[in-house]
Amino acid sequence: MPQTAPPRGNTLRPLRASNLVVDLVELAGVARKFVQCPCGRFAQVKRSELVAHNTPDEKRCPNSRRSIVNDLDEADWACAYDRTARQIERSRSSRPQFSKPKPPAATPVAHLARPRPAHLARTAGHSPEALAELDRTAKAAARAKARAR
What is the predicted pLDDT for the residue at 102? Answer: 84
SS3 21: coil
The closest alpha carbon to 68, from 52, 38, 83, 46, belongs to 46
Average pLDDT over residues 94-108: 76
The pLDDT tens digits of the residues spanning 32-45 come to 777 888 888 888 88
The closest alpha carbon to 45, from 70, 28, 26, 27, belongs to 70
Domain boundaries, the chain: 15-92, 120-148
The pLDDT tens digits of the residues spanning 43-62 come to 888 888 888 888 888 888 88
